């Protein structure tokens, strides 16, 4: 099964009460664990590559790993997505590198500038058969190159930073985007909130009314599982007061509202780090990377499988493939040219 855009996935997810897990990939073990979990649960998946991941791992290596995953799991619908692209030049580069979906993030710009940047990215991507996600509204927290608002300030004034439903309608109309990342009370990183999170479900409902049919995306949606925080802290880490988005609220946003994509990165990092710390602490003589990266990979498999049930996407791979074929098996021009050449 070749790579595909997110369109066949979102077409079914919007009315089907499920969302696609978008998992960030930085190395081989992460990619292996994510696709293995999705294959075991027969779930479509989105593999996200950020600007930071490109810098860390070299996109040629990451792309080769993903190509291997596609060959290894021929019945698994996979979309390769640029996470938080910030310039049209980066979007062009990602398209040339074979991404099937891109995000242009102009949320930190004034409204009109965000529209202009997004419209330019859409023009470039659509010409290549690639779909575009854009963002409107502001999130709190920090994760990699994404610097949001101070968590305390965000929590105190969250209503002020949520996506405006009327602006969202104008934004979608004027840019021609394919999916919209919305600010609904989530936050980046492991220290998302001082208190219990409470997603703005009423705001999601309003956006669905002003932007009917537009797939919505939740960033900053890791749940920061307590078992991994406990392991990190038990074996020498220092992560007091780490707090994420409760899984029951994520599930509600997915099953009842138009959320079709949920981004998960922090939870992957926590699972990997927690297990590596455990091995180092309990087996201090261990120096074989396979003997600590292996358990870390297994921990990620288990965590991702759990997330797929939270997102209600387990068992949806076959229907996505059937829909993709019904659409004519569309592929970005990168792949059609590659096949022709």
Q: pLDDT by residue (tens digit) across 211-260? A: 999 999 998 878 888 899 999 999 999 988 777 888 999 999 999 998 99
Count CA within 13 A, CB hemisphere, residue 7. Answer: 19
Question: What mean pLDDT value characterizes the chain?
Answer: 90
Give me the pLDDT at residue 193, please: 47
pTM (2 decimals)? 0.92
Active site residues: 83
Contacts of 309 (CB under 8 A, 6+ apart): 41
- Between CA 117 and CA 121 the distance in angstroms is 6
Taking the C-alpha atoms of residue 76 and residue 23, their distance in angstroms, rounded to an integer, is 15
Architecture of domain 7-335: Alpha-Beta Barrel (3.20)
Of the candidates 128, 44, 100, 73, the one whose C-alpha atom is nearest the C-alpha of residue 322 is 44
Q: Rounded to whole angstroms, how far apart are CA atoms 248 and 26?
A: 28
pLDDT for 265 equals: 93
Nearest to 186 by CA among 297, 92, 266, 82: 266
Q: Are 263 and 22 within 8 A, CB to CB? A: yes
| Encoded tokens for 15 | 């009315």
Q: What was the pLDDT predicted at 141?
A: 46
Measured distance CA(203)–CA(184) in Å, rounded? 7
The beta-strand segments (E) located in 16-96 are: 20-24, 45-50, 78-85
**Predicted local distance difference test score (pLDDT) of residue 208:** 96
Tell me what pLDDT residue 318 has.
97
Each residue's pLDDT tens digit, 133-143: 999 987 654 44
Q: How, if at all, do strands 142-143 and 146-147 pair?
A: antiparallel
- Identify the band that residue 337 occupies on the pLDDT scale cut at 50, 70 and 90: confident
E strands, 186-278, in order: 216-218, 259-264
């Amino acid at each position: 099964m070749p790579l595909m855009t997110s369109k066949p996935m979102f077409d079914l997810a919007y009315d089907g009460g499920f969302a696609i897990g978008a998992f960030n990939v930085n190395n081989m073990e992460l990619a292996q664990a994510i696709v293995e979990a999705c294959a075991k649960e027969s779930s479509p998946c989105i593999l996200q590559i950020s600007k930071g991941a490109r810098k860390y791992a070299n996109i040629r290596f990451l792309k080769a790993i993903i190509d291997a995953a596609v060959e290894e799991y021929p019945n698994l619908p996979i979309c390769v997505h640029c996470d938080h692209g910030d310039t049209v030049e980066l979007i062009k580069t990602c398209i040339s590198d074979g991404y099937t979906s891109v995000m242009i993030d102009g949320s930190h710009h004034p409204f009109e500038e965000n529209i202009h940047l997004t419209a330019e990215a859409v023009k470039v991507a659509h010409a290549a058969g690639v779909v575009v996600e854009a963002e409107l509204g502001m999130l709190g927290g920090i994760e990699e190159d994404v610097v949001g608002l101070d968590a305390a300030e965000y929590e105190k004034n969250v209503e002020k930073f949520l996506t405006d439903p009327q602006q969202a309608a104008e934004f979608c109309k004027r840019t021609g985007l394919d999916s919209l990342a919305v600010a609904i009370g989530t936050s980046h990183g492991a220290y998302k909130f001082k208190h219990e999170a409470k997603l703005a479900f009423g705001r999601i409902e309003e956006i669905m009314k002003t932007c009917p049919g537009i797939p919505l995306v939740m960033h900053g949606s890791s749940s920061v599982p307590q078992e991994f925080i406990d392991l990190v802290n038990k074996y020498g880490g220092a992560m007091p007061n780490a707090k994420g988005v409760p899984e029951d609220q994520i599930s509600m946003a997915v099953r009842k509202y138009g959320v079709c994509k949920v981004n998960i990165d922090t939870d992957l990092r926590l699972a990997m780090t927690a297990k590596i710390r455990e091995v180092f602490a309990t087996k201090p003589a261990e120096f074989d990377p396979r003997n600590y990266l292996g358990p870390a990979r297994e921990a990620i498999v288990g965590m991702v499988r759990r997330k797929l049930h939270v997102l209600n996407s387990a068992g949806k791979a076959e229907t996505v493939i059937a829909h993709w074929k019904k659409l004519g098996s569309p592929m970005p021009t990168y792949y059609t040219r590659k096949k022709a050449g």
